[in-house]
Amino acid sequence: MKFDFVIVGAGFSGCVLAERIATQLDKKCLIIEKRNHIGGNCFDYYDDSGVLVHKYGPHIFHTQMKKVWNYLSEFTDWIPYEHKVNAIIDGIEVPVPFNFNSIHKVFDKKKAQDLEDLLISTYGLGVKIPILKLKETSNEDLKQLADFIYEKVFLGYNLKQWGMKPEELDPSVSGRVPVFLSRDDRYFQDTYQAIPKYGYTKMFQKMINNKNIKVMLQTDYKDIINHLNYEKLIYTGHIDYYFDFKLGHLPYRTLNFDMQTINQEFFQSGAQINYPNNHEYTRITEFKHLTKQEHSKTTIAYEYPEEYKFGKNDPYYPIPKKANLELYERYKDLADNEKNVYFVGRLADYKYYNMDQTVGVALQLFEKKIAKN
């Protein structure tokens, strides 16, 4: 059988492009996925107790991009959900991103009010300040506050999550969770925030349910690519693997998830509690808070960050720092010279994309390049 496109990877990038190509261009696609399921890292499933869980950690959809929201809404209804996270600091639950409510939780009333006033007069109400920026302040009181937040919220978490201090990484990483001069406890302020009503996997199934799309699971594309008859390749795996690591291995970070089902209705106060300072895990997710599922039991996931090793575990996070980005650029030069191959997605672009960014980039690739060729 002849395919117009072979697509490596059945995550968001692969499924969005398959859907577009099949429905808009009426062309035939084969998706090859090495795991035993579609959905990439957004895959969810009902565990042995019947609780809906996210296999690769909590996935909360949020976006400012109306176009992405409207596109995905063709394949799912939504449960409105606004994510809130508490971190355990000195034994108590404190909202993260660190905000005015957090300040009032950890300092006495007078000190908290003074700091709040000082922050507003210095930066303005509603402003978001990355911790590494706040640490640059020349004001002694703000410096003490910045050091406190850095020590209690960021340092320990980063050492576990990345094996590095925040300042050793691109500032955009700790900048994802900036200090927020507000009383808004939400993790994201985006206009659209929700969870697919019947789960992510159901949404992906709907997306690729098309006579023009075939899916082959549990197959590494390298094992069969030379036996396939196709025109073009879309590659969403890690870029260094495509090139047989000829410039060296690009570092990624991985996680180990310890899922536990507990015979009680709820385990913790919300969907996500972070543990920056204690324990080897970084956070505990309780899925029922996200999915709003009613069940007498509950399933939680402990996240243990680990070093990624090719062949041993899966690459989940690119590690944004200068040397790695330079190596990626050299791979990108090779990629730009490949004929009839498109590289796209979090692994192939080596970019810390959220889901909406992933979808946005895939839609743009389709519109600007694939549909025009």
Binding positions for ligand UDP, rule: CB under 6 A: 87, 96, 153-154, 157-158, 161, 173-174, 176-177, 274, 276
Instruction: Of 173, 328, 335, 108, give the one whose Cα is nearest residue 242.
Output: 335
> Does position 57 bind ligand FAD by CB under 6 A?
yes
**Only segment of 27-35, 114-122, 151-159, 327-335 that touches ligand FAD (CB under 6 A):** 27-35
Q: Which is nearer to ligand FAD, 36 or 121 (CB)?
A: 36
Q: Contacting ligand FAD (CB under 6 A), which of 4, 23, 25, 35?
A: 35
State the binding partner of 196 from ligand UDP, ligand FAD, none, CB within 5 to 8 A by kind.
none
Find out whether 61 and 191 touch, Cβ atoms under 8 Å: no
State the binding partner of 212 from ligand UDP, ligand FAD, none, CB within 5 to 8 A by kind.
none
> Which 8-state DSSP code applies to residue 256?
E
State the binding partner of 345 from ligand UDP, ligand FAD, none, CB within 5 to 8 A by kind.
ligand FAD
State the binding partner of 353 from ligand UDP, ligand FAD, none, CB within 5 to 8 A by kind.
ligand FAD
DSSP class per residue in 48-72: TTS-EEETTS---EEES-HHHHHHH
State the binding partner of 5 from ligand UDP, ligand FAD, none, CB within 5 to 8 A by kind.
none
Q: Contacting ligand FAD (CB under 6 A), which of 237, 251, 276, 305?
A: 237
Binding mask 242-281 for ligand FAD (x = CB under 6 A): -------------x--------------------------
CB of 347 to ligand UDP, least distance (A): 14
Find out whether 260 and 53 touch, Cβ atoms under 8 Å: no
Sorted by sequence, the CB contacts under 8 Å of residue 195 that are 6+ apart come out as 60, 61, 78, 79, 81, 290, 291, 292
> Does position 316 bind ligand FAD by CB under 6 A?
yes
State the binding partner of 365 from ligand UDP, ligand FAD, none, CB within 5 to 8 A by kind.
none
Sorted by sequence, the CB contacts under 8 Å of residue 123 that are 6+ apart come out as 129, 181
Sorted by sequence, the CB contacts under 8 Å of residue 125 that are 6+ apart come out as 181, 182
User: What does the block give as tokens for 12?
Assistant: 């968001």
Instruction: Of 325, 338, 266, give the one whose Cα is nearest residue 299.
Output: 266
User: What does the block give as tokens for 122?
Assistant: 């210095």
CA dihedral 104, 106, 107, 108 (to 10 degrees): 70
Binding mask 201-230 for ligand FAD (x = CB under 6 A): -------------------xx---------
> Does position 33 bind ligand FAD by CB under 6 A?
yes
Contacts 24+ apart (CB under 8 A), 155-160: 155/276, 156/276, 156/277, 157/87, 157/274, 157/275, 157/276, 157/282, 160/280, 160/281, 160/282, 160/305
Sign of the Cα torsion 69, 74, 75, 81 reads: positive
**Only segment of 2-10, 115-123, 258-266, 286-294 that touches ligand FAD (CB under 6 A):** 2-10
State the binding partner of 157 from ligand UDP, ligand FAD, none, CB within 5 to 8 A by kind.
ligand UDP
State the binding partner of 116 from ligand FAD, ligand UDP, none, CB within 5 to 8 A by kind.
none
* Nearest-angstrom CA–CA distance, 54 and 192: 20
User: What does the block give as tokens for 94?
Assistant: 């404190």
Binding mask 119-138 for ligand FAD (x = CB under 6 A): --------------------
> Can the peptide bond before residue 97 be classed as cis, meaning omega within 30 degrees of 0?
yes
> Which residues in the 60-119 window bind ligand FAD by CB under 6 A?
60-61
Residues that bind ligand FAD (CB under 6 A): 8-14, 32-35, 40-42, 56-61, 220-221, 236-237, 255, 316, 345-347, 353-356, 358
